């Protein structure tokens, strides 16, 4: 078995590296090593990790087509689910610490603070993608429709970057970094789509 065909190994790699940041946050929290405002750290870390996994999931297709790493495709589901996992953690931190579990205040907050609205929008779009990530759902929807639905990832990534950009007070270095990466990854698709030859029936 060669490296590129050992999908069990790939899955293990993605699984461990995806869960590792969460474990490290828990361990550091336990040891009191998250600085003097751990809530802020956890909120920011889970938010950034959501974006990181969204970006990685968007990198699968370009990497596959450029370097022929088709083995990556099988791991995309787990990568996407990690984006959802950290998105849920991010939302829970907000509900617990920013809202103090007073869920009735969330609607007012969404209305009052545009960056919350955009973050929430991005999160809600992730839900159907997570729900339809099973093999059974792919079969049920059919590959084409499933693919179309999962293009929502593009909008989710844009919403995530805008959400991040809007909360930053003045130094936009990190949101700008994500904005550039996401633009490149979406730009790749636009170009690839333009270049695609018109399909002819053989």
Partner 1 sequence: MSGNSHIPSSEITPEATFLNRRFFMKSSIWAGSTLATAGLYNAFTPSSEVKDIGTAIVTIKEPSMETVLAADEKVNTFKEIASYNNFYEFSTDKSSVALAAIGFVTDPWSVQVGGLVQKPRTFDLSDLHKIESVERTYRFRCVEGWSMVIPWVGFPLSRLLSMVEPMSSATHVAFETYYDIKQMPNSDSAGFDLPYVEGLRLDEAMHPLTLMATGLYGKTLPNQNGAPIRLVVPWKYGFKSIKSVVKITLTDKEPPTTWNIANAREYGFYSNVNPAVSHPRWTQANERRIGEGARRETLMFNGYAEQVAHLYKGMDLEKYF
Footprint of partner 1 on this chain (CB under 8 A)? 3, 9, 13, 16-17, 20-21, 24, 28, 33-37, 39-41, 45, 48, 97, 100, 112-115, 166-167, 169-173
**Based on CB atoms, which residue is closest to partner 1, 89 or 129?**
89
**Based on CB atoms, which residue is closest to partner 1, 13 or 124?**
13
CB of 13 to partner 1, least distance (A): 6
Query: Which burial class, exposed, middle or buried, applies to 202 when counting CB atoms under 10 A from its CB (0-12, 13-18, 19+)?
Result: exposed
CB of 107 to partner 1, least distance (A): 15
CB of 29 to partner 1, least distance (A): 11
**Based on CB atoms, which residue is closest to partner 1, 9 or 69?**
9
**Based on CB atoms, which residue is closest to partner 1, 38 or 62?**
38
């Amino acid at each position: 078995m060669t490296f590129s065909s050992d999908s069990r190994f790939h899955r293990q790699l993605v699984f461990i590296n995806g869960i590792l940041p969460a474990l490290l946050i828990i361990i550091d929290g336990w040891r009191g090593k998250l600085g003097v405002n751990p809530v802020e750290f956890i909120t920011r870390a889970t938010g950034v990790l959501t974006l990181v996994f969204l970006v990685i999931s968007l990198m699968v297709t370009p990497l596959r087509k450029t370097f022929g790493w088709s083995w990556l495709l099988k791991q995309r589901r787990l990568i996407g689910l990690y984006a959802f996992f950290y998105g849920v953690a991010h939302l829970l931190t907000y509900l617990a610490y920013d809202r103090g579990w007073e869920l009735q205040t969330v609607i007012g907050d969404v209305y009052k603070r545009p960056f919350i609205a955009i973050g929430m929008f991005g999160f809600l779009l992730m839900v159907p993608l997570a729900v339809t990530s099973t093999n059974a759902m792919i079969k049920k929807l059919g590959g084409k429709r499933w693919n179309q639905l999962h293009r929502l990832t593009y909008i989710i990534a844009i919403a995530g970057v805008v959400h991040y950009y809007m909360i930053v007070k003045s130094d936009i270095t990190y949101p700008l970094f994500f904005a550039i990466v996401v633009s490149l990854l979406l730009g790749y698709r636009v170009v690839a789509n333009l270049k695609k030859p018109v399909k002819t029936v053989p």
